[in-house]
């Protein structure tokens, strides 16, 4: 599948493709690293409280 993705990206004129992978997915990370991919960043997220407007406040 990686070869297919690489070929598709190249044929579409892309010079890179990116994946997000959960921090707990050690086997997936090893898979990507073994295919000459690099870890180039961390993705941070903060879940915010629900800010839905109460119909009584409208």
Q: Give the residue, 56 or 38, on which the prediction is more confident.
A: 38
Q: How many CB atoms lie within 10 A of CB 31?
A: 13
The DSSP result for 30-42, as a single string, is: HHHHTTT------
For 16-50, write each residue's pLDDT tens digit: 988 899 999 999 999 999 999 999 998 899 999 98
Band of residue 8 on the pLDDT scale cut at 50, 70, 90? very high
Domain extents in the chain: 2-33
Q: Give the residue, 56 or 37, on which the prediction is more confident.
A: 37
Q: How far is CA 42 from CA 14, 23, 30, 38, in A?
A: 22, 9, 16, 12
């Amino acid at each position: 599948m990686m070869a297919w993705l690489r070929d598709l990206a190249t044929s579409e004129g892309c010079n890179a493709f990116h994946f997000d992978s959960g921090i707990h997915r050690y086997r997936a990370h090893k898979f990507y690293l073994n295919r000459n991919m690099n870890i180039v960043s961390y993705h941070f997220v903060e879940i915010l409280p629900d800010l839905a407007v109460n119909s009584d406040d409208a």
